[in-house]
Structure 1
Amino acid sequence: MSEKPVGIGIIGCGNISGAYLKAAPHFPILAVRACADLNLEVAQAKAAEFGVAARTIDQLLADPDIEIVVNLTTPQAHVPVGLQAIAAGKHVHSEKPLAISVAEGRKLLDAATAKGLRVGCAPDTFLGAGQQTARALIDAGRIGRPVAGTAFMMVPGHERWHPNPDFYYAKGGGPLFDMGPYYLTTLVNMLGPVARVTGTVAAAYAERRIASGPRAGQVVPVGTPTHITGTLAFASGAVVTLVMSFDIPAHRHAPIEIYGETASLSVPDPNIFGGELQISVPLPERKVEWQTETTGHAYGDGNYRIIGVADMAHAIRAGRPHRASAELAFHVLEVMEAVERSGQEGRPIEIESRCARPEPMPVEPAFGRAAA
């Protein structure tokens, strides 16, 4: 690619920032100018690890060489930090979720629109080989018209491994807002927007005990649902069952399955870029076998958790829409909020927003080397 590199600055130097900084060199369009954190020592340690500059947040926002702010703060800070970046004239790419409420998310989008700036949002795993190949199979008619599906993410609580899990159990956390964006973004990429939802919500435990790190033994109160079931009625007519839980010791469901008129598709974990796809093949006497499908797209052999930013950077230079868009993230946010509200109010809820499916990724590597 011959475009002038786009300067980016990272705000928030916690656990996920390492994955972004490790993947950044694989995309020549990106030039990491600096990283920042409320705790400057944390930023300095991350900067030293990856050979970039450490700055205060104000210094980073004032840097004219930074065009995109990559917002890797906790969910509760996504909109406040995003609004700061927009006020400073920067495009914003946020970690998921876009916001902790639809009302907050709308503020961010309105502010960006008013200044002619872009907003992007994780997850960008749907741009990887696993999910792109799944979409290509559906678009090619390999399973016929999709009529139904299932999506399961059920694990024990994050307090078992995370040293500071508090935000997972506050508003904007929980399994739906933490992991739901991966599953819902993948589903919308494959099937289009959601039209209506119903939900049921619960919390098996009132508090969680931290199991590792310097706070081991401390108790975290639970302030959000930790087991959520939902039925998603897509505008296309497909109906998908969704289960997101931090209350389950183990299970044997596939992450995502899509059921078509003529065949079924087992889709890999949407939290990774690759994975194995399987498609059902009918046999005599009403028997079925599952056939592994080759993932023919690029970016399936590693962790490319900055590819959405790279796509945004190329889109800025080319004047085209970016794929991990504000419209997609806002739609997913509205669906998540509606599932929770449906569970609390005991009624179906119509989804007001609509978003176009993002353009498919090219089969060949388009943004840089395809090995991370």
Structure 2
Amino acid sequence: MDFKIVDGGTITTPKGFKAQGVYAGIKRKRNDLGILYSTNPANAAGVYTLNVVQAAPLKLTKESILKSKQLQALVVNSGNANACTGVEGDKNARKMQELVATGLDIPNELVGVASTGVIGQQLPMDCVEKGIEMALADLSENGGPAFSESILTTDLIEKNIAVQVEIAGNTVSIAGSAKGSGMIHPNMATMLGFITTDAGIEHEVLQKLLATATDQTFNMITVDGDTSTNDMVVVMANGQSGVNIDESHPEWNKFVSAFTHVSEYLAKAIARDGEGATKLIEVTVTNGASFEEAAMIAKSVIGSSLVKSAIFGADANWGRIVAAAGYSGAQFNPDKIDVYLMGTLIFQNGMGVDFDEEAVQARMQEELIPIEINLHQGEAQARAWGCDLTYDYVRINASYRT
């Protein structure tokens, strides 16, 4: 790797970033409001859910980035999505933005807003205002872990990573924090993701970089096939490393590799933390005619409830894998593909092959379940991640509001 992973790194590892997370009373317990802050305005970019029903904070953040091409702060709450809440919801999102902007003495449009949680309920603004006041009073370079906890809903683990890469003799840091556990599906996974870097990158370049990385990572995960109303990934680049970079820079590819690794790590962490999940499934499609077609197959297999259920039961059922590939919409010859499960060939020449099923089933007790489909069509490759479908997924979502 052209970069190194920072042990214990958080969203505030890059220079000039501070954060804090607090318990404001929006949820029954655990931190539920966080603020991320750059000490100078940062160039910003974002990608958003494709759901036509979009929450008030998402629309406001998208509007702010389009207007200023920069952000200096983000305020995030969990426990309440502020989605489908009408005019009052719009006002509350703007109130959150205004409170943070006033507290930091910066323009309103430099504050992004994000929310996650139950849809259709108005925010308890007395709790939100109290939480913003507490978080602003305690912003710190050490506030990354508290911020990370504040954005979680049904997540079981915090999702953080930081990497460093040498560019032009200087150290550049890239970090990320994300939440996501249920309602995860490709084409903007249901999640919130925040990426920071102390590199200097212009908005247009940053937007293109984020979109490309998202297509390869966040848009290649699924938990349950649902896409929610609040999903977004936002990146802030404040330039405090002293390194300015774009596609013409001789070390651009090193930076892209590090940035993509951060995105992939967070995407895989979300898939592994799927509600009730016990296993991470990784589907790799190789030798496809194009990335688009390979990705269609990978996402179809990873999104199949039957495949996910078979993985939970440690059932080496190649029929479900092949069927999911077949209805993906991609064009391929089923008589020419090879399918591997746990590294063992299980399907070839249009039919199953003899293999030691007991041995494969025993290996399927492991946490990582690799599936590979070789199309023998070209040189394109795509990879997708998901999790098994368990009894606990139903239990968790049957009582989500109670």
Same fold by TM (over 0.5)? no
TM-score by length of 2: 0.27
TM-score by length of 1: 0.29
